[in-house]
Amino acid sequence: MPLRPPRRLLKQLRARGIRLTSQRTILLNILDQEDGFADVATLRAIAKQKGARIDRATVYRTLALLRANDLLAPATDAAHGPESVNGAPPIARDELRLTCERCGGRQPVATDTLDSIKREIRKCTGFHARAVRLEASGECRLCAAKMRLRNRKSISPQTHTKENL
């Protein structure tokens, strides 16, 4: 049985309280399966293969919603030079960003540790990276603390042991 996609986009939008119609849900599942790399025509074709009727305007509105929530980089024409390759400007400096899967919060981190990644890239591929952009997905401190608090409250007084604390 094939593994299901992680549903990252669905979780992010739900965490932000955004209403998800059945059409949006289908499109978000497709985007998750395609790792976010699909144009409007491809999205509509895949949705049609799945038996869904989604008009072009719905696709554009869904993509705009994702861009507005910083979940999708705006697509641009790569013919206009390196500043638009893959819909994102070239990386000017190293970036390490942490994204919380629970609240959707993003935490930029100033670090010089990405130099080791650049060295490894050069060693393995011969590519000389001037800058690296890395995004990690997980749980922020605040959400982790809230989860620990909820877990403590859910443990009844009779079940307190050293392992549970």
pLDDT digits (tens, 9 = 90+) for 117-135: 888 889 999 999 888 888 7
In this predicted model, which residue has the larger pLDDT, 16 or 159? 16
How far is Cα 101 from Cα 139, in angstroms, rounded to an integer? 6
**CATH number of domain containing 129:** 3.30.1490.190
| pLDDT for the residue 78 | 42
**CATH number of domain containing 69:** 1.10.10.10
User: Across the strands, what pairs with 137?
Assistant: 99
- Number of independent structural domains in the chain: 2
pLDDT digits (tens, 9 = 90+) for 50-89: 889 899 899 989 988 888 888 877 654 444 444 444 455 6
Whether residue 49 lies inside any domain: the answer is: yes
Domain that holds residue 22: 1-90
